[in-house]
Amino acid sequence: MAKRIFITATNTDIGKTYTTNKLLREYAANGVRVGAIKLIETGVVDNKAPDGMELLATLKELNPEFKDIILEDIVPITYELAAAPYVASRATPLDFTLLQEKIEKLEELCDVLLIEGAGGLLVPVDGSFMMIDLILFFQASALLVTHCSLGCINDTLLSLQALKNRNIPAVVAFNCRGGDENFETLSEPFFLNTGYDVMKVDKDIDTICDVLYNL
């Protein structure tokens, strides 16, 4: 079984796919055979899953063993409505058999498999499971991608507590973007002064990769 790392976030549009691509490139640059799968993607029109297409293009560039892998392998489940999977699927039970088959197929081609979630940790997947439950089911460690805007302290701590409650080993990565210049003044001091590591996606991706690999 490959090293499984589940990429999750404090909310939607935080930068999971962006971060996943950065991780793929960093691991590959260090000689690691990389793989990725986005279990569920919503907001997919005409069978074109934008996040999945981006990941597939990166994988074909970085890992020659993915030459015959198609989009449906990278994104096994898609829905047209851009909403939580529970809503987008009309509460259809999640096909765990399909997901497990795809993961096992990709794991034959890689040493590290990045599993990208959809939305945040407590996004409902179907009537029985939330996104956080998939981390445990697939026996993965977690990378929590969080934002750097005002409010990130609350959002980050809530998500970390949810992971802790389920005994899921996790690393936090801050995805600072344009307009987040006040992070160092408004939020970062709390994390630094209370013992949290502040690792930023654009500056510390090498350290993030190392910590995750050894988690």
The residues annotated with a catalytic role in the active site are 38
Residue type, 188: E
Is the pLDDT at 1 greater than 90? The verdict is no
Whole-model pTM? 0.96
24-78 pLDDT per residue, tens: 999 999 999 999 999 999 999 998 999 999 999 999 999 999 999 999 999 999 9
Question: At 132, phi and psi to the nearest 5?
Answer: -60, -30
User: What local confidence, expressed as pLDDT, does residue 82 receive?
Assistant: 96
Instruction: State the alpha helices, DSSP H only, in the chain.
Output: 16-29, 50-62, 71-74, 85-88, 96-107, 131-137, 152-165, 183-186, 188-193, 205-213
User: What local confidence, expressed as pLDDT, does residue 112 receive?
Assistant: 98
Domains of the chain: 3-213 (3.40.50.300)
Nearest to 33 by CA among 59, 51, 12: 59
Is the pLDDT at 87 greater than 90? The verdict is yes
Position 8 confidence tier, pLDDT thresholds 50, 70, 90: very high
User: What local confidence, expressed as pLDDT, does residue 179 receive?
Assistant: 86
User: What local confidence, expressed as pLDDT, does residue 47 receive?
Assistant: 87
Provide the percentage of residues in the chain whose pLDDT is more than 90: 98
- Cα–Cα distance for residue pair 150/15, rounded to 1 Å: 16
Which residues are paired to 200 by β-bridges? 174
